[in-house]
Amino acid sequence: MTTTLNTITRDLNDLPTLRRYFGLWLEGSYEGEGHYRSNLKAIGAANERQLRAFIISQFSRFMAFEHQCSVGHAQKCIVKAVDADALAAFTMELMDDALEFYTLHATAAA
């Protein structure tokens, strides 16, 4: 039987693909225009600590959506699947992606 932890672990072994799909999440492809605009606003207003918290929250929501589970369960699976240093590095990559998303889209959305 395949568990949520197994499928999340599998997904986390393909980080380039996962980053692309998370980028689509930020762009509103999953939850629509309102999500896109709220993401732009949150990213643009965030300092580094706030951006990190935002990314962790949104990535957990994204994984919960993808794996049809609760956000808390998705977050627990992510933490179990990846060691702390790799998770911190991946979070930084997602933060960089979010800032690039903001740079590319902020003027277009204004």
Is 0.95 topped by the overall pTM? Answer: no
Q: pLDDT tens digits for 52-67?
A: 999 999 999 999 999 9
Residue 89 · residue 97 · CB < 8 Å: no
Q: What is the pLDDT of residue 109?
A: 59
Per-residue pLDDT at 85 exceeds 60: yes
Q: pLDDT tens digits for 21-44?
A: 999 999 999 999 999 999 999 999
Q: What is the pLDDT of residue 110?
A: 57
